[in-house]
Amino acid sequence: MHVTRSTNQSQVQVDFKIENILRRLRKEARINTMTAARQQTLKELAAPNMESQRLCINIDNNVNFELKSSFIHLLPTFNGLIGEDPHTHLKEFHMICVGMKPNGVDEEQVKLKAFPFSFKGTSKAWFFSILPGSIGT
């Protein structure tokens, strides 16, 4: 059934069937959103969405290789503690990356992809605080 509504400027055709379907769909969407929100804990709702957040390191997406877990376990770790030497950490990191570099992959890309795995403790917190996309080499 079509009914016209008067407005100040023109006449509008209204299809009540379509409007009722639209209202029902909007109501279902609100209910689904509220149900999903209720299933999450307050801690989960307050936590930032890490899936959409980029890291500070820009990795070339055209270079496709996988870091093996055995390689990651060989990486030196840096905790950011007072007695640790960051220069020694970088030298050890460089030696492992050069020695375990996959064929056909640029050493720089291996280092960029592996670097986040070398941090632990307070140094990892520092790493996550760096501006996203700010490191390219």
pTM of the model: 0.58
The per-residue pLDDT for range 51-104, each reduced to its tens digit, is 556 778 877 777 678 888 888 999 999 998 999 999 999 999 999 988 887 788
Look up residue 118 and give its DSSP letter: G
Q: How far is CA 54 from CA 59, 60, 94, 95, 119, in A?
A: 11, 13, 24, 27, 17
